[in-house]
Structure 1
Amino acid sequence: MLKTLTAIERDGLDIRILSMVFDVPNKEFDIQEGLRKAVTDYCKTEEGRKTYDYNCGNFNLADVDSSLPKMFCEKYGFSIVDTVITDDNIDWDESFCENVDEDI
């Protein structure tokens, strides 16, 4: 089963969105809890601690994408399927239908 987790970064009027798709064992699987466990284990390794320290004691979803080895995900029953950083964003209710009442 696939689950998607989305992180949104707001910097003034700029917005950046990172979406990650995870393969999880079932609908009830808590991907955030699984990530916390996997990241905590990783940050207790020499390599993981370097990443954690480099990020001033932080390890966010972008760090998961760039730094978390898949073996730590697999240990907790999930895997990363895909990652997408948006190039643009729109309002959920943005309509793409224009000039419908004009003659075709």
Structure 2
Amino acid sequence: MPVSANLVGPVLRMVDEVDAVVRAIIEDNPDRHIELIDRGAYVRVQAEWCLRVTRASIERHVGRFYEMRELEQILASFAGRITTTSDEFVWQYKR
């Protein structure tokens, strides 16, 4: 992906369930080119303009009930504007 100022997405701390959360983000954004940058202590997940992840997809990948506040606990940072509900997180590029 070329360098872009329109990239959005989470920076996730490396915890046991980070791979499942990343797989859920990929599942919830089938039409997006998603870039993963592994920095050892964290992973940056980014795409242009918009990314989303739903509780339902995270639950499928972690294999248990998942509260979105658990995602808040591993969210070290993010790019873009974030909208959160009890069922999904959405990161968007907005001016």
More helix by share: 1
> Highest Rg: 1 or 2?
1
The structure showing larger relative contact order (alpha-carbon pairs under 8 Å, at least 6 residues apart) is 2
More strand by share: 2
